[in-house]
Structure 1
Amino acid sequence: MDWIPVALLTFKILVLGTGMFFAIKWHYDQGKKASEKRAVLRASGMVAAVFVLSLLAMGLVTFFLIRTFASDLSLT
């Protein structure tokens, strides 16, 4: 059962890495097409904000699920 965290962490890193690669590639391609840098910067900022918010939401959901299933999170 010790291999499960390693496998899940590896999967998570692969999924997030692939998503970030394609997001950066898409924005780079859009930047080549668009003549206005302001629109590209605004789109990049919105994507970064959505990414940070989804990361925060995933962390909160994980915390509350662990707390719900009676795992001990106290530091003492």
Structure 2
Amino acid sequence: MMDWIPIVLVTFKALVLGIGMFFAIKWHYDQGNRLKDKLAVLRAGGKVAIVFVLALLVLGLVTFALGRKLGLDLTFP
């Protein structure tokens, strides 16, 4: 029984990620068709880039704060 668990879980994970990627690509394709204006597409892309950079910055700060709270030495050599 234990030999089948990784096979089932990896198959399930691949199926879920595959379905998610399909719908993500479909949604972006539909959005691209709806937003014919190039300026609107660039503006939307800029907003996504800004949100991504801000999320990355917040994640980094939270990671370092948690590391210091746990007593990890985060100084560069």
Higher Cα Rg: structure 1 or 2? 2
| Alignment length (residue pairs) | 57
Q: For the aligned residues, what is the CA RMSD?
A: 2.6
Q: 1:28, CA displacement in angstroms?
A: 3.7
Name the residue aligned to 1:48: 49
Greater relative contact order (Cα < 8 A, sep 6+): 1
- Where structure 1 has 5 or more consecutive residues not aligned to the other structure, the ranges are 1-14
Q: Secondary structure at the match of 1:35?
A: coil
C-alpha separation in 1, matches of 2:67 and 2:33: 44
Percent identity, aligned pairs only?
54
Question: TM-score, normalization: structure 2?
Answer: 0.59
Query: What amino acid does structure 2 have at the position aligned with 1:49?
Result: I
Question: TM-score, normalization: structure 1?
Answer: 0.59
Query: What amino acid does structure 2 have at the position aligned with 1:69?
Result: L
C-alpha separation in 1, matches of 2:29 and 2:42: 11
Name the residue aligned to 1:59: 60
Name the residue aligned to 1:38: 39
CA contact (8 A) 1:31 1:37 kept: no
Name the residue aligned to 1:10: none
